[in-house]
A = this chain, B = another copy of it.
Amino acid sequence: MSDLIELRDRMRDFTAERDWGQFHDPKSLILALVGEVGELAEVFQWLPSAHSNALSREEPTATQVRDELADVLLYLVRLADVLDVDLHAAALDKMAKNASKHPSRPL
């Protein structure tokens, strides 16, 4: 099974088991996504740009980075599910649009 479908189904079960579906309207889920992006930003904000990648791999930062990236993905997957959007198909379509907007070589 596809990764994104698997995560969608797991999030759907997780939500149902806690009766949290009542809170998962799109605007609330976008605010939750913003909260997680904010936590990701906080991990990196004061790292010097030139060394941020290397520094973010040292513990305990590395675990925070992994957890925050995961949280962003999980809320994004949940939001797409609530909106009946197939994230994988949407991403492939958008990449095709981006490629035609930004050709890799002069036409």
Contact = CB atoms under 8 A, between A and B. Distances in A.
A35 B27 contact: no
Interface residues of A, number: 68
Contact of A66 (B31, B57, B65, B90): B90
List the number of copies, as a whole number. Answer: 4
B49 A95 contact: no
A73 B46 contact: no
21 contacts: A3-B4, A14-B104, A25-B49, A26-B52, A27-B47, A30-B34, A32-B41, A32-B45, A33-B37, A34-B34, A35-B39, A35-B42, A38-B41, A53-B82, A69-B80, A69-B85, A70-B90, A73-B91, A74-B94, A74-B95, A77-B91
